[in-house]
Structure 1
C-alpha cells in the first residue's frame, strides 16, 4: 500500500540536491522582486532621509522650533491614516493601479517638496509623500505576495523586503546627512524623482494588470477609520511635544478612540465592510500584527534611547552617533536575508516571530545595565546589533504570519493592515518611551544631569525589553501552531 508523505517528510527522505523548480525564482520573478524591493527601499529612505535635515530646513524656511517635529509627523499622519483604505482599494481595483498611482504621487510630491520656499507648502508635500506611501506600500506588498506562491519562495521574498526596509531607514539617515552637508536638504526630495520615473516606466513592463475583484468601497468605514487613525497618531505625536496630560493630547486621543469604535460598529453592519471582521478575527492576522507592532515600537524606541545615551551620556557627536548606527543596518540586513532559513529550520513563521521578539527583548533589556563610561560602547553596539538582527527576523515572521492563508483578493487588505501596524508603531514608540524616561529624569532633579539622564534611559530601555518579552509569550500562547492559526 502506498503512502503520501508531507512536503517536509519528502525533503527529509532525500539527500540534498538541486532545489525543485517551485522553489527557484524565474527570471521574471527575479525582476519583479527587484522592482518591488526598489520601491520599498525608496519609501524607507524617504521616511528617514529628511529627519537629519530638520534643523537646516527649520532655519531656511523659518519653522518655529516647537513645530519642527511636524516635518516628520505630517508624513506619518497620512501614511498611517490611509494605509488601510488604500489596501482595500487595491483589492477592489487591482494593486498595480494603486501601486502606479502612488509612484506618480511620490514623484510629483518630491518635486514640489524640493522647490518650496515656505513651511506650509513643505508640510503639504510631506503629507502627499505620506499618502503615496500609504498607496505604494500595501499595494507593493500585495503584488509581491501574489507574485510568489506561499512557501519558501514567498518567505525569501518577504525576508529580502524586510532587509530592504531596514537598510532603507539606515541609508536614509546617512544619505540625508551627506546630501544636506554637501548639496542641499532639497536633494532629499529630488533624489526620489529619477527613481520614481524609472519605477513608473518599468512597472507596466513587468507587472501584468491585476484583475480587480469588484465590489463597493465602504465610505463610512473609510472615513471613520482614516479620521480615527489620524486623530490617534496626532494625539500620540502631540504627547511628545506637549505631554500626555495636555488638553490637545487628551482630546485628540479621545476623538481617535471614539472614531475607531464607530468604525467597528460600521463594519458590523456594512454589506461590504472595509475590513471584514472575519479577517480581523483570524488569530494569525490579529496576533501577527500585535507581534509586529511590538517589534516596531521596541526598535524605534531603542534607536531614540541609544541616540540620547551616545550623545548625552557618553558624549559622542551627532555624526559619530549616526555612523555607529551603521552596525544596526548590518544586523538588520543579515536578519532579513537569513530569516527565511529560520522559518524553514523552526518550521513556522510564528516560531520566528516569537524567537525574534524574545531575542530582541532580551538584548534590549540587558542594555539596562549600561553605564556612563565610554568602555560600554562596544558592548552596547554588540547588543544593538543582535537586537537589530532579531527585529528584522521578527518583521519577516510577522509579515508571513499575518498574510498567509488568505486568498489573493484579500491580500491588499492584509498588507494594508500590516502597513498600518508598521506606520502607527513607528510613530508611537518614541513618545511612549520618552515619557517614561522623562518622568524618571524629573524625579531625580536633585541628582547630576548626566546621572539622571542615564537613569531615565535605563528605566525606559528596561520597560521596552519587558514589553517585547511579554508580547512574545502572548503570541506563543495564542498562536500555538500553524494549523490553529489558520482556523482562527
Structure 2
C-alpha cells in the first residue's frame, strides 16, 4: 500500500517521466499555469453543472416541446447515462491519444451539441443533443484532472489546483441550479443550452495554446475492456434510473443490475490479462485509494440526493420561483468554494485524515437537520442552517479525498485514475437519486388528504425520508473513511517508493 505524503512530490513520478518529458516536450511555462488552470476548470464546470442546470428548466422544456411526464425525466437521465457509461473509456483514450487533444475535442462536441439542443424543436432532437453532450463530456472530463496532475509538478501548487478542481466538482451542481434559475426567469429554457456555447468555444480555442500536451502513452485501446466497461456502466446507471422511476423489483430493473454485475466482472477478468488495461487494477488494490473511491461514490450519492429533493421542496413546498430557488442555494455554494480554497492550505499542515473524519460529520449534521423537514418548516430556520453545515462539509471533504486518491498516482495513468474518480461521482449521483426517490415514493404513497395543506405535509414527509437515506449514505462513507482510508501524517518522513508497477 502506498504511503506517500501529500506534501512531498512523488519521486517515482519524476523518475518515470523526466526522461520522456525531456525527449518529447518541454515543461509547461509556469507563467501559463494560471490560464491553463482557468481553461481546465471551465471545462470541468461546464460538464458538471450541465447535470443540474437543466433541472430548473424542465417545466419550460415540457411546455415548449410537448414532452410527456415520463419522457421529461430522460432529459436529465440520458445525459447521466451517456456521461457515466463512457467515462472509463474516455480516461484511457486520453492516455493513448493525448489528453489535451481529447479535452479540446470533447468540449467541441459538447458545444455543438449544446447549440443543437438550444435549437431543438422536438423531444427527439433535444434527447439526441443530450446524448451528444454526454459523449463530449465523457471524452473531455477525464482529461481535466489528468492535465492538472501533469501540469503542476510542485506538490503545493498541485494541491491548490486540485482544491479548485474539487470546488468546481462539488459546487458545479449548485452553480447549475443558480444559473438555471436566472436563465429561465430572465430569458427562457433554451439559454440553459446556449450558455455553453461561448465558454465551449473559448475552451476549444485556448486549450491548444495554453495547455501543454503531456507525453502520450501510445499503445492501443483495450477494445474488449472498453466494450464490457461501457456496457456494464450503462447497465448499472440505467438500473438506478429504472429503480428510481418504476421500482427496484421490476424484471427490467433486476435484469439491468444482473447484467451490470456480469459485465463488470467480465471487465475485471479482461483487465487482469491484457497488457495495456483500460483500468489498471492496482489502482483498486491499494486500500487507501479503493476506500477513497468508495467514499467518493457514497458522498456524491448523498449530495445529488440532497440537490434533487431540496430543489423540489423549495419550489413545490415553499412556492419559490426558479430564480428564488436558485439563489436559495447560495448559502450552500459559498461554503463549498470557501472550504475547497482553504483545504489545500490546511492539509499539508495537519494531514488529510482530520478532514476526512471531521468534514463528513458536518455533512451528516446538515442532512440530519433536513430529516426534520415538516409542513411548518421555513427556509430561514429549517433549510438555511443545514445548507451551511452541508456546504462546509462538502468543501472540506472533496479536496482531501481527491488528494488522497491521487497523491501517489503516476502521470502516465492519471487519465485512468481521474476517469475512475469521476465515474464514482456519476454512478453515485444516479445511486443517490434512485435511493431517495424510492424512499420518497413509499413515504408519499398514502397521503393524508387532498387539500394544499395535506399535500404540503405529504411532500415534506417524503423529503424527510429521502434525506434520511442520504444521511445513511454519509454515515457509511464515514465508516469507510475511518476504517480504510488512513493517509500518512505530513510530519512523517517519506518512505521508500513502491516499484513503478505498483503505483
Task: State the TM-score, normalizing by the size of structure 2.
Answer: 0.86
- 2:367 alignment counterpart: 364
CA contact (8 A) 2:91 2:415 kept: yes
Q: In the alignment, which of 213, 216, 232 is matched to residue 212 of structure 1?
A: 216
State the distance in 2 between where 1:362 and 1:450 align.
24
Q: Does 1:456 align with 2:462?
A: yes
Q: How does 1:53-452 map to 2 (within 5 A)?
A: 53-149=57-153, 151-311=155-315, 313-314=317-318, 316-348=320-352, 350-375=353-378, 377-442=380-445, 448-452=454-458
State the distance in 2 between where 1:461 and 1:156 align.
32
CA contact (8 A) 1:37 1:164 kept: yes
For structure 1, which segment, 302-311 or 262-271, has the greater mean C-alpha deviation from structure 2 after superposition? 302-311
Deviation at 1:449, TM superposition (A): 4.5
- 1:477 alignment counterpart: 483
Deviation at 1:236, TM superposition (A): 0.9
Gap change, CA 1:457 and 1:172, over 3 Å in 2: closer
Deviation at 1:376, TM superposition (A): 6.5
Gap change, CA 1:8 and 1:75, over 3 Å in 2: closer
State the distance in 1 between where 2:359 and 2:122 align.
44
CA contact (8 A) 2:292 2:401 kept: yes
State the distance in 2 between where 1:238 and 1:42 align.
26
State the distance in 2 between where 1:98 and 1:467 align.
34
Please list the CA deviations of residues 21-70 of structure 1 after superposition, one character each: whole Å capped at 9, or x if unmatched.
xxxx9432112111211221222332222222222222222211111010
Q: Does 1:28 align with 2:32?
A: yes
Gap change, CA 1:467 and 1:150, over 3 Å in 2: farther
Please list the CA deviations of residues 368-424 of structure 1 after superposition, one character each: whole Å capped at 9, or x if unmatched.
234432456324311221212211321112211111111110000000001111111
Deviation at 1:472, TM superposition (A): 1.3
State the distance in 2 between where 1:432 and 1:288 align.
21
State the distance in 2 between where 1:190 and 1:173 align.
16
Gap change, CA 1:378 and 1:69, over 3 Å in 2: same
How well do the aligned residues superpose, as a CA RMSD in angstroms? 2.6
State the distance in 2 between where 1:446 and 1:175 align.
36
Gap change, CA 1:252 and 1:445, over 3 Å in 2: farther
Gap change, CA 1:296 and 1:188, over 3 Å in 2: same
State the distance in 1 between where 2:447 and 2:198 align.
51
Deviation at 1:207, TM superposition (A): 1.5
Deviation at 1:317, TM superposition (A): 4.9
State the distance in 1 between where 2:177 and 2:93 align.
32
Please list the CA deviations of residues 155-186 of structure 1 after superposition, one character each: whole Å capped at 9, or x if unmatched.
11111112233443223223223333333322
Task: State the TM-score, normalizing by the size of structure 1.
Answer: 0.88
Gap change, CA 1:439 and 1:374, over 3 Å in 2: closer
Gap change, CA 1:253 and 1:195, over 3 Å in 2: same
Gap change, CA 1:438 and 1:346, over 3 Å in 2: farther
Please list the CA deviations of residues 177-233 of structure 1 after superposition, one character each: whole Å capped at 9, or x if unmatched.
333333332222222222222112211111223211112211111000101111111
CA contact (8 A) 1:40 1:164 kept: yes
State the distance in 2 between where 1:8 and 1:407 align.
15
Count of aligned pairs: 466
Higher relative contact order (Cα pairs below 8 Å, separated by 6+ residues): 2
- 2:474 alignment counterpart: 468
- 1:22 alignment counterpart: none
SS at match of 2:55: coil
For structure 1, which segment, 297-306 or 415-424, has the greater mean C-alpha deviation from structure 2 after superposition? 297-306
SS at match of 2:52: helix
